[in-house]
């Protein structure tokens, strides 16, 4: 019997991202010298030629599902490459989703739960106090020779009242990208003294601090000892707070709280790291947080999302690019999360965008550019990853601090300005069309 794998499905989204970020802005070659096709390696570590180059133009021009390239081969190539390069730190759960090898997450376990874990042969590897949430997350290590899935089942049986799960890995950015695609690590810059304005959170990969769009940006960082610039994190951050002679994000005056959950690590993007980043933002009172990442449902992630929503935070997440028939992806599909789909410049939903009740808004996600590390400094992007930050920055204007009543009011206000609402496709409607920067404008 063939078992469906959300991980393999989510790799379709990664292939889309690899193809689109690898492409620079067609027809915008004069002032910024953007070639029509520029593939300086792949943001996902894929070969620079072959399938990547062959399908890039077709993807950018896709108007419906029939126009999309066959991403199966690219998806399988990415999967094999990921497992080969990180087999020392990653393994697959029974559904095929990537998890950190030999690790189980426990959410605020009781003494009885810890005793049950010890009886099952598990030991405490790490313990993290989530100060902003008044909770504790414990990472349990599976002993050599034991199967992670089997011990997880045993633990759930021994302590049915506890919350235990794999340490799933989420694939919303190019974790493990080669330096040629993103750039070498940079020293952490001094904290910005800039004050005032709104604040907005970003849980993603690293941001290219030296890019012109962030010259005047106020950025607070969490997660890594050094900055690891990445194409995805840079593009998403720019859409929220970037500003330059050639580019304008939604809210350039906002202070950006940026959590890099990857740090150029094979085990980056884990549920543990996401939970830690969310707890940091809860402590810092960041009201609106963008998560342009997708993966399977996870009990630890669900608990931390629930705690954030209960405290009045607005979590904005991309619904993914696995197509209209794909199963729900997370965290966008958790209750209370603002799920965002993507439309083109004419307001048409992208054929690869996810559908379903998790879609609350839609925003531009195609025929547009954002900032990128290296040369060229601006590249064409496509996908729900780049629609979500537009919605997050718009909501941040109306919600300065976490507040449940204020969060509901901010969503209602944004919905009041939306157009063409359609349940399951654009949700409450399309917003932010004015913030799409057309490639032709960079000529």
| Beta-strand runs (E) in 240-291 | 255-260, 288-291
Domain(s) of CATH 3.40.50.200: residues in the chain:
179-442
Rounded distance between C-alpha atoms, residue 359 and residue 349, angstroms: 11
What's the number of CA atoms in the CB half-sphere (13 Å) around residue 163? 14
pLDDT tens for the chain, 443 residues long, are 333 344 444 444 444 444 444 433 333 333 333 332 222 222 322 233 344 445 555 666 666 666 665 444 444 466 556 667 888 999 999 988 889 999 999 999 999 999 999 999 999 999 999 989 999 999 999 999 999 999 999 999 999 999 999 999 997 632 223 233 455 666 666 556 554 579 999 999 999 989 999 999 999 999 998 889 999 999 999 999 999 998 999 999 999 999 999 998 988 999 999 999 999 999 999 999 999 999 899 999 999 999 999 999 999 999 998 878 888 999 999 999 999 999 999 999 998 899 999 999 999 999 899 999 999 999 999 999 999 999 999 999 999 999 999 999 999 999 999 999 999 999 999 999 999 999 988 76
- For the domain 90-168, what is the CATH code? 3.30.70
All residues at 6 or more sequence positions from 291 whose CB lies less than 8 Å from its CB, including other chains? 172, 203, 204, 274, 315, 316, 317, 318, 331, 332, 388
Enter the DSSP assignment of 3: P
**pLDDT score of 29:** 30
pLDDT tens digits for 160-219?
999 999 999 997 632 223 233 455 666 666 556 554 579 999 999 999 989 999 999 999
Q: What is the pLDDT of residue 327?
A: 85
The closest of 420, 432, 428 to 388, measured between CA atoms, is 432
Residues 6+ apart with CB under 8 A from 28: 34, 369, 378, 439, 440, 441, 442, 443
For residue 187, what pLDDT is reported?
63
pLDDT digits (tens, 9 = 90+) for 304-329: 999 999 999 999 999 998 878 888 99
Among 411, 426, 249, 431, residue whose Cα is nearest residue 355: 426
Every domain of the chain with CATH number 3.30.70 lies at 90-168
From first CA to last CA, the distance across the chain in angstroms is 53
Distance CA 397, CA 324 (A): 31
> 116 with 158: CB under 8 angstroms?
yes
CA distance 369 to 367: 7
Q: Which pLDDT score is estimated for 364?
A: 97
CATH number of 179-442: 3.40.50.200
- Looking at residue 25, its pLDDT comes to 34
If you write DSSP's letter for every residue of 279-299 in order, what string do you get? HHHHHTT--EEEE---B---H
Do β-strands 123-130 and 135-141 pair in parallel, antiparallel, or remain unpaired? antiparallel
């Amino acid at each position: 019997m063939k078992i469906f794998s959300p991980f393999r499905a989510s790799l379709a989204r990664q292939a889309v991202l690899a193809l689109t970020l690898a492409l620079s802005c067609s027809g915008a070659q004069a002032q910024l010298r953007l070639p029509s096709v520029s593939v300086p390696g792949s943001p996902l570590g894929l070969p620079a030629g072959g399938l990547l180059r062959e399908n890039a133009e077709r993807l950018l021009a896709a108007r419906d599902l029939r126009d999309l390239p066959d991403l199966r081969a690219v998806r399988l190539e990415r999967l094999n490459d990921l497992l080969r390069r990180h087999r020392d730190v990653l393994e697959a759960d029974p559904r095929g989703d990537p998890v950190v090898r030999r690790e189980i997450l426990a959410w605020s376990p009781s003494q009885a739960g810890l005793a049950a874990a010890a009886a099952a042969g598990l030991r405490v590897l790490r313990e993290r106090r989530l100060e902003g949430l008044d909770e504790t997350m414990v990472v349990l290590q599976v002993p050599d020779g034991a199967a992670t899935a089997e011990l997880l089942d045993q633990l759930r049986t021994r302590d049915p009242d506890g919350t235990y799960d794999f340490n799933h890995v989420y694939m919303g950015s190019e974790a493990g990208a080669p330096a040629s695609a993103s750039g070498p690590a940079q020293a952490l810059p001094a904290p910005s003294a800039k004050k005032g304005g709104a604040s907005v959170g970003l849980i993603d990969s690293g941001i290219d601090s030296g890019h012109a769009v962030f010259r005047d940006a106020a950025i607070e960082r969490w997660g890594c000892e050094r900055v690891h610039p990445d194409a995805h994190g840079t593009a998403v951050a720019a859409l929220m707070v970037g500003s330059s002679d050639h580019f304008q994000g939604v809210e350039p005056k906002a202070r950006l709280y940026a959590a890099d959950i990857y740090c150029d690590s094979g085990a980056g993007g884990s549920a543990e790291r996401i939970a830690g980043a969310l707890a940091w933002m809860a402590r810092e009172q960041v009201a609106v947080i963008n998560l342009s990442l997708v993966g399977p449902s996870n009990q630890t992630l669900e608990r931390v999302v629930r705690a954030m929503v209960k405290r009045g935070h607005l979590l904005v997440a991309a619904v993914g690019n696995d197509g209209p028939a794909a199963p729900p992806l997370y965290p966008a599909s958790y209750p209370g999360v603002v799920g965002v789909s993507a439309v083109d410049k004419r307001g048409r939903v992208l054929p690869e965008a996810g559908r379903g009740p998790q879609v609350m808004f839609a925003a531009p996600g195609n025929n547009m550019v954002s900032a990128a590390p290296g040369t060229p400094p601006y590249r064409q992007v496509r996908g729900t990853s780049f629609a979500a930050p537009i919605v997050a920055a718009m909501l941040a204007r109306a919600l300065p601090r976490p507040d449940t009543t204020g969060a509901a009011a901010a969503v209602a206000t944004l919905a009041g300005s939306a157009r063409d609402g359609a349940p399951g496709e654009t949700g409450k409607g399309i917003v932010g069309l004015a913030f799409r920067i057309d490639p032709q404008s960079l000529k």
